[in-house]
């Protein structure tokens, strides 16, 4: 097995970690589940378990078959018809939730808006009618490129209501990344905003979108949300007549009566692009019935969600966490969801904690990279706010080092809140490995056990169960990806070709006698930078796109806040000289091509890259150099001297 390129120190810590945290008695006593029996029941009949959860949703037509499975093709709740927006909104209108908060939104400048379930239903229905008016119908693709504003959730729900397939593109992506995603899905409509606030500045989304659209022929209309009317003031962008329309004009004229389209359970709800091992991102396709069932069940049990909870997940809707645990899971449960537009350190580093106090947040879900930043900023920022309402904390997106876990537990959770470390992926759609907070004894750094009804293990290359190796999911699960948009071969090859009928997530993991999983990080050429997935090939393509670059190899190196940072080894074309200016330019070039999340931390110029005799770049050696470690075996190299020279150069520069 290739050892995952995760931070070595953190790995050592993980391997030594033996602290245990049973659920606090007060928590367990009131928890939705406080009994191990749920694991046994689900294991005895997983299909019956999932069918019970599906049965809590509203179906226009009942399903005939819980699961049909012919690997890798799964059909969950076949024959059943439902609508996701109906389940997230209409279902709550007949009871006491009708006028309760669904979305509590705060903009970065401090403006706020609260939507009740009834409000959100009305706004969604109006916008759904507006989309219909633009010719959007069932199965059409709609790209959404928005900041964290309520309209992002409304746009997603409006698509779901009429059976259109949304493809949300994170607002931090470049025009080129946006264009690639629009073109791959052949989206008909793009929904964007004049801008969104980030650290006091306005991110010019419409200007990016205009640049992207120069390369897109499928888009017929662009709907523009006026976020603060900053279009003329800051971005100087205008609307293109005939193509672009203001969101507020469209909804002003639209009827609030829009019946929810019955969708067959297996019909596509959304596409979400994620990075893989090639330069081209994959459009992960999610279904309707299975997806909603698992996000509904996991939100309820993993977060122990109650009617009086105030739930805040700090992810962006541009990522799967935002889809499943800001929008669909919590709203299907009728939760009060906090949504925040901006940066955690604006106007100061206490912003998140002020928000927690202001809205009385009880459940808080964030990424380890954020926790490490909070640790670095210091406890005094946390101490300024009253966090006594918090009762449960969660993490997602990358392995959490025990030091950060313990800090989160002590400083944010006041030693009374259980922590749920949730392992899952864009492809899994919903949480897969996690504690149940009223049942599971937690261990810092371990995501603990598979969720009831999920079957996970660790396998060797050849498929034997081993204590340390590749994480594997051995049974189909309701919210599993159904394919990669337009590329079913890649779907089969990436996830289903390692073992027979078993899903390969691409992560390394280990397990101890207690059966707890310790997910150690990616085993493929995918990096996890500040909780964001970035393919090394994407960054390499961006680098070689620059006229000065002949060849590039990208690896991850440990970073104390981001988990991993990007180190790029670059060979220049004849006649080009390495310089600090060029390194700076290349970093900027990558940020411009992909988005600033992909900006390399280090650029290391080299006359040659270490290659095997067959010409394959030896990334393992590059990783060792970037980590400042002793070099491993170099005997297979065509020219062992290359790597010695590189190491010297790196150490000089470091």
**CB of 63 or CB of 365, closer to ligand PRX:** 365
**CB of 7 or CB of 505, closer to ligand PRX:** 505
**CB of 80 or CB of 505, closer to ligand PRX:** 505
Minimal CB distance residue for ligand PRX: 426
- Phi and psi at 540, nearest 5°, equal -60, -45
CB of 332 to ligand PRX, least distance (A): 18
Q: Which two tokens stand for residue 207?
A: 């200007």
Q: What SS3 string covers 471-492?
A: EEECCCCCCCCCEECCCHHHHH
CB of 528 to ligand PRX, least distance (A): 6
CB of 53 to ligand PRX, least distance (A): 20
**CB of 178 or CB of 367, closer to ligand PRX:** 367
| Three-class secondary structure of residue 509 per DSSP | strand
- Residue ranges binding ligand PRX (CB under 6 A): 274, 320-321, 396-399, 421-426, 447, 505-507, 519, 521-522, 528, 533
CB of 522 to ligand PRX, least distance (A): 5
For strands 196-198 and 165-168, give the pairing: unpaired
**CB of 258 or CB of 396, closer to ligand PRX:** 396
Cβ neighbours for 313, distance < 8 A, ≥ 6 positions apart: 321, 322, 325, 326, 330, 337, 365, 366, 394
CB of 594 to ligand PRX, least distance (A): 15
CB of 445 to ligand PRX, least distance (A): 9
Q: Which of 165, 132, 223, 220 is nearest to 486 (CA)?
A: 165
DSSP designation for 318? T
Q: Which of 251, 93, 240, 237 is nearest to 158 (CA)?
A: 251
**CB of 479 or CB of 606, closer to ligand PRX:** 479
- The dihedral built from the CA positions of residue 567, 572, 578 and 582, taken in this order, carries a sign that is negative
CB of 555 to ligand PRX, least distance (A): 16
Rounded CA gap, 207 and 210, in Å? 5
CB of 517 to ligand PRX, least distance (A): 9
CB of 396 to ligand PRX, least distance (A): 5
**CB of 126 or CB of 599, closer to ligand PRX:** 599
CB of 426 to ligand PRX, least distance (A): 3
Rounded CA gap, 560 and 538, in Å? 23
> Helix axis angle, 580-593 relative to 536-544, nearest 10°?
120
Name the β-bridge partners of 651. none
On whether the CB atoms of residues 348 and 377 are closer than 8 A, the answer is no
CB of 318 to ligand PRX, least distance (A): 11
On whether the CB atoms of residues 255 and 64 are closer than 8 A, the answer is no
Cβ neighbours for 507, distance < 8 A, ≥ 6 positions apart: 4, 423, 470, 471, 519, 520, 521, 522, 523
CB of 299 to ligand PRX, least distance (A): 14
**CB of 352 or CB of 424, closer to ligand PRX:** 424
CB of 519 to ligand PRX, least distance (A): 4
**CB of 505 or CB of 595, closer to ligand PRX:** 505
Rounded CA gap, 422 and 396, in Å? 5
CB of 307 to ligand PRX, least distance (A): 26
**CB of 287 or CB of 528, closer to ligand PRX:** 528
Q: Which two tokens stand for residue 98?
A: 């009708």
Does residue 577 have a cis bond before it (omega within 30 degrees)? no
On whether the CB atoms of residues 518 and 490 are closer than 8 A, the answer is no
On whether the CB atoms of residues 186 and 142 are closer than 8 A, the answer is no
**CB of 87 or CB of 428, closer to ligand PRX:** 428
For strands 201-203 and 268-274, give the pairing: unpaired
How many degrees, rounded to 5, is the angle at CA 283 between CA 267 and CA 164? 40
Cβ neighbours for 228, distance < 8 A, ≥ 6 positions apart: 107, 109, 111, 194, 195, 197, 202
- Continuous segment of H or E residues that includes residue 507: strand 507-511
**CB of 116 or CB of 422, closer to ligand PRX:** 422
On whether the CB atoms of residues 623 and 555 are closer than 8 A, the answer is yes
**CB of 12 or CB of 545, closer to ligand PRX:** 12
Q: How far does Cα 32 stand from its chain's mean position? A: 26
Q: Which of 143, 149, 95, 153 is nearest to 120 (CA)?
A: 153
CB of 302 to ligand PRX, least distance (A): 12
Q: Which of 615, 607, 614 is nearest to 644 (CA)?
A: 607
Does residue 514 have a cis bond before it (omega within 30 degrees)? no
Rounded CA gap, 33 and 10, in Å? 32
């Amino acid at each position: 097995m290739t050892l995952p390129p995760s931070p070595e120190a953190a790995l050592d810590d993980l391997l030594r970690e033996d602290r245990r945290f049973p659920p606090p008695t007060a928590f367990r006593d009131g928890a939705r589940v406080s009994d191990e029996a749920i694991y046994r029941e689900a294991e005895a009949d997983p299909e019956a378990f999932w069918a019970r959860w599906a049965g809590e949703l509203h179906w226009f037509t009942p399903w005939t078959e819980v699961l049909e499975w012919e690997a890798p093709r799964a059909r969950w709740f076949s024959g059943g018809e439902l609508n996701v927006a109906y389940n997230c909104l209409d279902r709550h209108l007949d009871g006491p939730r009708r006028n309760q908060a669904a979305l509590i939104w705060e903009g970065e400048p401090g403006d706020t808006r609260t939507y009740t379930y009834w409000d959100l239903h009305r706004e969604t229905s109006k916008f759904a009618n507006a989309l219909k008016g633009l010719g959007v119908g069932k199965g059409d693709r709609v790209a959404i490129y928005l900041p964290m504003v309520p309209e992002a959730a409304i746009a997603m729900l409006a698509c779901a209501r009429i059976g259109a397939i949304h493809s949300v593109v994170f607002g931090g992506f470049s025009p080129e990344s946006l264009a690639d995603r629009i073109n791959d899905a052949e989206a008909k409509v793009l929904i964007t905003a004049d801008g969104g606030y980030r650290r006091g500045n306005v991110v010019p989304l419409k200007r990016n979108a205009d640049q992207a659209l120069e390369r897109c022929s499928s888009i017929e209309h662009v709907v523009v949300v006026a976020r603060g009317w900053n279009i003329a003031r800051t971005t100087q962008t205008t609307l293109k007549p005939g193509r672009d329309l203001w969101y507020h004009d469209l909804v002003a004229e639209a009827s609030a009566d829009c019946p929810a389209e019955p969708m067959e359970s297996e019909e596509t709800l959304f596409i979400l692009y994620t990075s893989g091992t090639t330069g081209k991102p994959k459009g992960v396709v999610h279904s309707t019935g299975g997806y909603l069932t698992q996000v509904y069940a996991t939100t309820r049990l993993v977060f122990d969600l109650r009617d009086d909870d105030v739930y805040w997940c700090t992810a962006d809707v541009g990522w799967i966490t935002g889809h499943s645990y800001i929008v669909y899971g919590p709203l299907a449960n009728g939760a009060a969801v906090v949504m925040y537009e901006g940066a955690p350190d604006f106007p100061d580093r206490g912003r998140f904690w002020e928000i927690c106090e202001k809205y009385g947040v009880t459940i808080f879900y964030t990424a380890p990279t954020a926790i490490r930043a909070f640790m670095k900023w210091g406890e005094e920022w946390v101490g300024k706010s009253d966090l006594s309402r918090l009762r449960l904390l969660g993490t997602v997106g990358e392995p959490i080092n025990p030091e950060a876990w313990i800090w989160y537990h002590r400083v944010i959770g006041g030693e009374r809140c259980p922590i749920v470390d949730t392992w899952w992926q864009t492809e899994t759609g919903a949480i897969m490995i996690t504690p149940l907070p009223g049942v599971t004894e937690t261990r810092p750094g371990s995501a603990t056990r598979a969720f009831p009804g999920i079957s996970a293990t660790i396998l060797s290359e050849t498929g034997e169960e081993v204590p340390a190796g590749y994480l594997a999911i051995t049974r189909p699960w309701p919210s599993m990806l159904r394919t990669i948009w337009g590329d079913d071969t890649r779907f089969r090859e990436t996830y289903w070709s390692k073992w027979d009928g078993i899903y390969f997530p691409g992560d390394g993991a280990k397990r101890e006698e207690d059966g707890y999983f310790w997910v150690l990080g990616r085993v493929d050429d995918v990096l996890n930078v500040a909780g964001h997935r970035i393919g090394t090939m994407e960054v390499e393509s961006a680098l070689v796109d620059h006229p000065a670059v002949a060849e590039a190899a990208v690896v991850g190196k440990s970073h104390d806040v981001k988990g991993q940072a990007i180190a790029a080894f670059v060979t220049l074309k004849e006649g080009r000289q390495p310089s600090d200016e060029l390194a700076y330019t290349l970093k900027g070039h990558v940020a411009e091509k992909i988005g600033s999340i992909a900006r390399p931390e280090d650029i290391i110029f080299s006359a040659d890259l270490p290659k095997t005799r067959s010409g394959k770049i030896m990334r393992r050696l590059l990783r060792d150099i970037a980590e400042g470690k002793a070099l491993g075996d170099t005997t297979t190299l065509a020219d062992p001297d290359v790597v010695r020279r590189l190491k010297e150069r790196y150490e000089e520069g470091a």
